[in-house]
């Protein structure tokens, strides 16, 4: 074995540190987690969660003994996250498939999609919620206008310090040929969304000193907006790094028709499938973000900040809320007899 010279001994760790820095910087520009083996960890379920097809597909299953779940290896502080899901088919009553971002601790933040199963032929319910500093109670629920069990659909979260909005982007992105999305640095928006066979582009809307907050979308159609009124005392999830989580579990005490319909265990195991995850995100690494804010608002990384939710998207939002919203905490006066939450009054 050759001995190294003193100079090479000194420079080797420096080179390794530089290499690690370059790799980390690149991870902010091109983050693609299509390999579930590499980028996710199945955290519970005793074998009920499985990674298949050379890491390109992950399945979770639920039976009477247990459900299952997984989480991302990385933590993130802002980004866009796309995941294709195919939900439990047939009689899925009593089951919940959750897909969300969450931090840890008693004052955690969370951005939440939960898909509530139903009897065969009855629609799934999309249950959305936003937790800040350990407090949620911001539920809105919707029916879907398609069957989410017949094909994969893309469910997306775009999370920035101010707002979440998702719009369909029919043109391929700059990294589409490499199947690797480009990280946009200096994000200032938070978007939750669902998409189907479309690339998604975040669009930011600003109003006289008020950030717009969160927006949930399905197939590029916005279904919910949660505005950022932090400057007016309403907490907003923009300080704690989060991991991506998903789980399939039994909740027949409340999930289907208020708990009246119980899980039919003769239909077990129940299975949900995941594929084609991708992230354009700021990785949280040893207490620091891999993204740095651009000094120029007009730079390539920040050009999307000038976009607004256009009139067509506003019309689609109103259409969904008129015909497909089935619960809104901001209209539930019986639940809040002392007055609606302040974010409802400000919205």
191 vs 291: CA distance, rounded Å: 18
Per-residue confidence (pLDDT) for residue 274, from 0 to 100: 98
Q: Across 173-182, 197-206, 317-326, which has the greatest mean pLDDT?
A: 317-326
Q: Which residue has the higher pLDDT, 4 or 155?
A: 155
Based on the residue annotation, tell me whether 110 is a catalytic residue of this protein: yes
- All residues at 6 or more sequence positions from 165 whose CB lies less than 8 Å from its CB, including other chains: 158, 189, 191, 193, 202, 203, 204, 205, 212, 215, 217, 222, 225, 309, 313
H or E segment to which residue 36 belongs: helix 36-39
Domain 27-346 adopts which CATH fold? Answer: Jelly Rolls (2.60.120)
Task: Count CA atoms closer than 13 A to 319's CA, side-chain side.
Answer: 12
Q: Which residue has the higher pLDDT, 5 or 213?
A: 213
Does this model's pTM top 0.95? no
Mean pLDDT of the 105-114 span: 95
Bridge partners for 141 per DSSP: 127, 327
Cβ atoms of 197 and 154 closer than 8 Å: yes
99 vs 115: CA distance, rounded Å: 8
Q: What is the dihedral of CA 206, 129, 157, 290, to 10 degrees?
A: 80
Tell me the pLDDT tens digit for each residue of 220-232.
788 888 878 898 8
Q: Which residue has the higher pLDDT, 35 or 213?
A: 35
Other Cβ atoms closer than 10 A to 347: 15
- All residues at 6 or more sequence positions from 72 whose CB lies less than 8 Å from its CB, including other chains: 33, 39, 40, 41, 243, 244, 245
Other Cβ atoms closer than 10 A to 63: 15
Other Cβ atoms closer than 10 A to 221: 23
- Among residues 114, 201, 205, 230, which one is catalytic? 114
Based on the residue annotation, tell me whether 303 is a catalytic residue of this protein: no
- Among residues 110, 201, 205, 230, which one is catalytic? 110
């Amino acid at each position: 074995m050759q001995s190294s010279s003193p100079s090479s001994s000194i420079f080797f760790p420096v080179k390794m540190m530089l290499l690690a820095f370059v790799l980390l910087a690149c991870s902010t520009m091109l983050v693609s987690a299509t390999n579930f083996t590499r980028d996710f960890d199945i955290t519970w379920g005793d074998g009920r969660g499985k990674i298949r097809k050379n890491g390109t597909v992950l399945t979770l299953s639920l039976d009477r003994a247990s459900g299952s779940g997984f989480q991302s290896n990385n933590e993130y502080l802002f980004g866009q996250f796309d995941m294709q899901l195919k939900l439990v088919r047939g009689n899925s009553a009593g089951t919940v498939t959750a897909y969300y971002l969450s931090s840890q601790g008693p004052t955690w933040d969370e951005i939440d999609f939960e898909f509530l199963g139903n009897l065969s032929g009855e629609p799934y319910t999309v249950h959305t919620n936003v937790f800040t500093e350990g407090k949620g109670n911001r539920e809105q629920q919707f029916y879907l206008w398609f069957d989410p069990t017949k094909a994969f659909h893309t469910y997306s979260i775009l999370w920035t310090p101010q707002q979440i909005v998702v719009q369909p982007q029919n043109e391929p992105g700059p990294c589409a040929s490499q199947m690797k999305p480009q990280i946009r640095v200096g994000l200032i928006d938070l978007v939750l969304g669902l998409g189907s066979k479309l690339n998604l582009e975040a669009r930011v809307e600003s109003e006289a000193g008020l950030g717009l907050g969160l927006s949930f979308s399905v197939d590029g159609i916005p279904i919910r907006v949660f505005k950022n009124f932090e400057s007016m005392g309403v907490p907003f999830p923009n300080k704690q790094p989060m991991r991506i989580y998903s789980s399939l579990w039994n909740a027949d005490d409340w999930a289907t028709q208020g708990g009246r319909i119980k899980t039919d265990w003769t239909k077990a195991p129940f299975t949900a499938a995941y594929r084609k995850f991708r992230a354009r995100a700021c990785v949280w690494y040893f207490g620091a973000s891999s993204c740095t804010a651009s000094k120029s608002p007009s730079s390539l990384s920040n050009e999307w900040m000038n976009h607004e939710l256009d009139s067509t998207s506003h019309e689609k939002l109103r259409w969904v809320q008129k015909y497909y919203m089935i619960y809104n905490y901001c209209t539930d006066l019986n639940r809040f007899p002392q007055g609606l939450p302040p974010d409802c009054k400000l919205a």
